[in-house]
Every structure is written in C-alpha cells, then in structure tokens.
Amino acid sequence: MSPVLASGNARLSEPSGAPSEATLAIPIDCNPELPEPVIGYLRDSLADSSLRAYRSDLAQFTAWGGTIPASDRTLATYLAHHAESHSVATLTRWLASLAKAHRAAGLPSPTSSELVRATLRGIKRRKGTAQDQAAPLLRDDLVQVLNGLGDGLKDVRDRALLLLGFAGAFRRSELVGLDTDDLEPVRQGLIVHLRRSKTDPLGAGRKVGIPHGRTRHCPVAAVELWLSRSGITQGPLFRGLNRHGQLLAGRLSGEAVSVIVKERVQAAGYDPAPYSGHSLRAGFATSAAQVGVSSVKIRAQTGHASDAMLGRYIRDAELFLGNAALALL
C-alpha cells in the first residue's frame, strides 16, 4: 500500500524531503561544528537502546512519507493510518520520537497540538489502553521449572539465571549486564551491585540483597555452582554456550533471557507463549504480594519508584484475597 502522505500529496503541508542522516542517527542536536568531546558526551546522553528506538521511529515516519518539520495535520493522519495495525503504546512512542526530532532541530513540536492529542485520545477510547503483559512466573511454577532441570552446564547456568532473576526481581537487561565483580558475598547471602539500569541511566547504582534460600532451590548456591562449574572468575556473569556445550566469552543478550524462560517453561509443560524475560520480575512481585509482603519491601527489591508503578502486580495478586464471591458461592 502506498503511503497516505507522499511527497506529492496535497495534504502534506510541509516541504518534501527527509531528515538528515545526523537527525536519524541521533535525535539530539549534534552540530558538526561542536568540539568532538561535546559531541561524544551528547551521544552518551542517550542509552544505545533509546538511540536505536529513535532511529527506527524516525525511519518509519519518513518511509511512510512524512518529513521533519511536520504539521499537526500530518501527524494526526499518521496516527489514524496506523491506529488499527499498531498498539497505543507504539503510537505514543512514535510521537515522543517525533517530538524529540523537532526539538533537536530547534523547531516547535506539533505533537502537543490539540489536533494530535485529540486524535490520540480518540484512538485510546476506541481501542483501549490495556497493554499486553508478560505472564508472571509465580513461585510454585518456578519450582516446577527448576525441578525439571538436569546437571549439565547449560542446566546449571539456566538454574542460576532463573533463580537470581527471580530473587532479585531483575529486568533482563540488568541480569545480563552483571559482571562477577558486581557480586559481593556476605554472611546472609549475596549483595548484587546494580551499576546501571533502565530507571538509573546516570549510573547512581543500587544494592540488591539476595538471601540464602530456605529450600534446595537457593539462588546463592545456584550462582556459586555456576561460577564453579563454568570457571568464570571475571567479566560477564551469564554467557552463552556453543552447540557443543562449551562456554563462550560474550555475555548473554536480553533476548536470550526470554528464550531461556520460554524454553524452560515449555519443558515443564507450560504454554511458553505468554512468558518472556519479564516473567521473572513480574513473578517475584506478584508472588511476594500474594504471601503478604509489604509494597515497601517489594519495591526495595524491584526498584520501583512508587506503589503506583508496582500496583498492577499487587492488584493481580489480590484478586482472590477476601474475594466477595467466596461468601456467596
């Protein structure tokens, strides 16, 4: 299908042409006349993942036929054209990227106009704003998964990854970003030093306590066994294995965590479709809420800034606690 807005379309109110390669490459004003150290720091102001997302979003817009600068009419049409094929979350992210591109060029952003905002509100009202969420890997389900693991090197690695990811309520990027130097053994278990995370782009860091487990599925023991069996003494904690089961030098990717979770839950007899790398973090928060752990203590582990951010896990966990239907049926 041809783009709704092409360079010859009369509905396109701005001049034809695409953003410069510099704008597509980095959505901040990297004036080539700036000193090289300044340009370097400007690039470091954005995470690589954010940079890739901005570049992808701008490329999507220009491939459709849009240009920078864009009019509010263009953006409203852009949203309407993709409303049925893309989620509200994706459309919202696209607008954020386009706003960034305009600000980087020193231009007023049309994304804040009433026409664009009203169009997005209409899409939200028609489609709803609920997002697909990864199914939480709850504590009892995790135990079932762990019970099915063997004692090969891959099994040992995956057991350590699953247990540490669950006990620390880590995001997959946090989990694969760990190095051996980030682990501090203490009498009570392990202190994991998170140097940087999604909500800590400036690297202030935080500490996460991983206590010794009370069952045979102890996260501390699992990590220690992985380090012992793999021979890893420095560098990335979780690494890939080749098809011969030999350890590789590079760290696992975030995608690899999702693959491991899906493979292991499927092997335990679960449908892997709703599970992802986020299932470990979601499973911890939901399981902790189910057994009555306070939101303050849960947030201390997950790093959520407020109860509002944690709320969806707690709401799911409390669906059957004191349920009114229990008194009636």
- The yes-or-no answer on residue 281 being catalytic is yes
Which one is catalytic: 100, 171, 172, 262? 171
Distance (Å) of CA 84 to CA 87, 90, 183, 201: 8, 12, 46, 33
Distance (Å) of CA 269 to CA 30, 143, 262: 52, 13, 11
Residue 171: count of CB within 10 angstroms of its CB:
22
- Per-residue HEC secondary structure of 272-294 comes to CCCCCCCHHHHHHHHHHHHCCCC
Distance (Å) of CA 94 to CA 100, 117, 220, 327: 10, 13, 42, 47
HSE, side-chain direction, 13 A CA sphere, residue 238: 28
Q: Which residue in 289, 230, 270, 2 sits closest to 143, CA to CA?
A: 270
Residue written as token pair 């309520």: 169
- The yes-or-no answer on residue 126 being catalytic is no
Residue 188 is classified by DSSP as: T
Token pair for 220:
């501390």
Which one is catalytic: 73, 157, 264, 281? 281
Are 226 and 160 a contacting pair, CB within 8 Å?
yes
Token pair for 87:
């989620």
- The yes-or-no answer on residue 86 being catalytic is no
- The yes-or-no answer on residue 270 being catalytic is no
Distance (Å) of CA 270 to CA 91, 154, 168, 261, 291: 32, 20, 23, 11, 23
Which one is catalytic: 11, 198, 207, 315? 198
- The yes-or-no answer on residue 206 being catalytic is no
Q: Which residue in 53, 29, 49 sits closest to 103, CA to CA?
A: 29
Residue written as token pair 């693959």: 259
- The yes-or-no answer on residue 124 being catalytic is no
Residue 18: count of CB within 10 angstroms of its CB:
17
Helices 307-317/279-290 angle, 10° precision: 70
Residues catalogued as catalytic: 171, 198, 278, 281, 304, 313
